[in-house]
Amino acid sequence: MIMFFVSKNSYSQDDDVFFVFGKMKIESGNFDFSKIAIYKDGAKWKSIKGQKSFEFKLEYNHQYIFSFEKRGYVSKKIKVDTRVSAELLEEGFDPFQFYVNIFKQYEGVNTVVYNQPVGVIRYDETMDDFGYDTDYTKSIRSQLQKVEEETEKAKKDEIIQKKEDEKQADLAKQHADAEASRIASEKAKERKLAAAEEKKRVSDEKARLVEEKRKIEDAAKLKEAEEKAKIEAEAAKKKAEAEAAKLKAQEDARVKAEAENAKLKVEEESRRKEAEEAAKKKKELEAQIAASSKADADKARAEMEKLKIEEDARKLAAAEAEKKKKEIDAEKIRAEELAEKNASKEKTKLIEEEQRRKMALAAVEREKRRKRNVAFEREDKRVADLPRTIHKEIDVQNNKTVTFVTVSEGQEVNIYRKVEWSWGGVYYFKNSENISSSIFFQETQ
């Protein structure tokens, strides 16, 4: 469609140039990638882009082609012929205004007619002014009308096809939304299952460490009890041996003393009998002396002197025997005291050994505890130093985008969510609790 207007008020008349102005209209479109190109006598003269209004000063006695173009649209050309006689230029002409409407290019519509100008503006002697060439317009009207009819039909077909496409797109969208919902549900289940498995793994690892620690402690306690029982058995054995040695020493001293005493008693009994015999013989000698002659008396006295000497010898032997008995009793007492002293020393030694054993056991137990604690601390540190892993996943849904971030560190697993709604709202979550954006970005980096 081309519309021509003549305005005598908007612009002033200039006798040296022919002033044209107007607007370009783009059917169902904007002015992006649009252009107005002007050719002067077949050569490119000027062009403007992305504008709907235009105004140009054209020199007289030249032929201009205005080409109105846009990507995806049918270009239209307007020819402006400014050739006039010199006499007419003395009075000049009013500015000329026109509008051009371009439409979309449809597949299958033959628009070859638009390769030539759809309108010609030139001087009209009947009007004594510039106007459109009606003869030219009539000559191509039928071709233009055919293109317009085909274009209108193509437009309606496009509308019908667009509605069908929108319907199919809507069905496809519904199907895609349903599939996305199903996939999101499955992914949510997978994430939940993965989180549960990760928590179970951490829990099992923690339980394994606790069980391993308990087994180590039980084994240590059992070994300690066995060592303690062994040491106590050895101590009891030494104590029993010391007690037996003490009793043996005491028994040996007693037996020896009894043997010595028995021997002394036998000797004492022998001396007693000898004394009785001597006393009896003495009486007999005394009686004999009294009743016998001098010679016999001297002989009897000599016998008595011998008896006296023997008596003195017996007394001396008795004294020696008593002395020996006392020495034996003293030796027995010394032996008992020595056995008691040795037993006391052994007991003290056993007590000292027991104390040293207890101190050694305590030192060993402290060292074991230290090593166990070091081992447990090392294991705890190993678990605590497990590499920090971050897994990100983005789920684009119908009206929101959800970013899932799973953070595993040591024995702890946390699931973060960033929910971005299509209307602009953004929310952050840690597990099931609402958190700030700063905490989200700080803990998921």
Return the amino acid letter for 275.
Answer: A
pLDDT tens-place string over residues 112-151: 999 999 999 999 999 999 999 999 999 999 999 999 999 8
The verdict on 236 and 375 lying in the same domain is: yes
Pick from 114, 40, 46, 121: nearest CA to 75: 114
Q: Is 351 exposed, middle or buried (0-12, 13-18, 19+ CB in 10 A)?
A: exposed
Residue 431 has pLDDT above 50, yes or no: yes
Q: Does 231 score more than 50 pLDDT?
A: yes
**Does 326 lie in the same domain as 424?**
no
Let me know whether 197 and 223 are in one domain. no
Which residues contact residue 264 at a Cβ distance below 8 angstroms, ignoring those fewer than 6 apart? 321, 324, 325, 328
In a domain, 267, yes or no: yes
Give the containing element (helix H, strand E) for 356. Answer: helix 294-384
Give kind and range of the element (H or E) at residue 409. Answer: strand 400-409
Confidence of residue 337 (pLDDT cuts 50, 70, 90): confident
Instruction: For residue 13, name the pLDDT band (cuts at 50, 70, 90).
Output: low
pLDDT at 385: 65
433 and 352 in a single domain? The answer is no
Distance (Å, whole) CA 285 – CA 166: 172
- Same domain flag for 371 and 403: no
Count of beta carbons in the 10 Å neighbourhood of residue 344: 12
Does a structural domain hold residue 316? yes
Task: Count the neighbouring beta carbons within 10 Å of the beta carbon of residue 78.
Answer: 22
Specify the CATH number for the domain of residue 304: 1.10.287
Average pLDDT over residues 414-427: 89
Does the pLDDT of residue 11 top 70, yes or no? no
Are 309 and 266 members of one domain? yes
Core vs surface per residue 39-69: b (16+ CB within 10 A) or e: bbeeeeeeeeeeeeebebebebeebbbbbbb
Rounded Cα distance between 65 and 303, Å, is 197
Helices (H), 39-119: 86-89
In-domain check, residue 146: no
Q: Name the pLDDT band for 242 (thresholds 50, 70, 90).
A: confident
Question: 28: phi > 0 → left, psi -120 to 50 → alpha, else beta; which?
Answer: left
How much is the pTM? 0.42
- The confidence score (pLDDT) of residue 145 equals 93
CB-facing half-sphere around the CA of 309: CA atoms within 13 A: 5
Give the residue, 38 or 313, on which the prediction is more confident.
38
Q: Are residues 215 and 324 in the same domain?
A: yes
Task: Decide if 59 contacts 74 (C-beta within 8 A).
Answer: no
- Tell which residue, 439, 399, 392, 438, has the closest CA to residue 419: 399
Query: Among residues 92, 89, 80, which one has the least CA distance to residue 13?
Result: 92
**From 17-21, 135-139, 224-228, the region with the lowest mean pLDDT:** 224-228
376: its two tokens: 């447990």
Using one digit for the tens of pLDDT, what is the confidence trace for 270-280?
888 888 888 88
Position 14 scores a pLDDT of 59
Q: Tell whether 87 is covered by a domain.
A: yes
Percent of the chain with pLDDT strictly greater than 90: 32
Could you give the CA distance from residue 167 to residue 175 in angstroms, rounded to a whole number? 12
Residue 304 and residue 417 share a domain:
no
**What domain range includes position 17?**
2-132
The predicted model gives 192-196 an average pLDDT of 81
Whether residue 165 lies inside any domain: the answer is no
372-393 pLDDT, tens digit per residue, is 777 777 766 766 666 778 888 8
Give the CATH number of the domain where residue 85 resides: 2.60.40.10
32 against 432, higher pLDDT? 32
pLDDT at 7: 42
Type of residue at 218: D
Q: Check whether residue 22 and residue 41 sit in a common domain.
A: yes
**Residue 302 vs residue 42, higher pLDDT:** 42
Residue 347 pLDDT > 90: no
361 shares a domain with 231: yes
In a domain, 127, yes or no: yes
Tokens of 202: 């951490």
Please report the pLDDT score of residue 384 as a whole number.
Answer: 64
Do 401 and 334 lie in one domain? The reply is no
How confident is the model over 146-181, as pLDDT tens digits? 999 998 998 898 888 889 988 888 887 888 777 877
What's the structural domain count of the chain? 3
Angle between helices 294-384 and 134-291 (to 10 degrees): 180
User: Residue 19's pLDDT is what?
Assistant: 97
| Position 326 confidence tier, pLDDT thresholds 50, 70, 90 | confident
DSSP state of 112: G
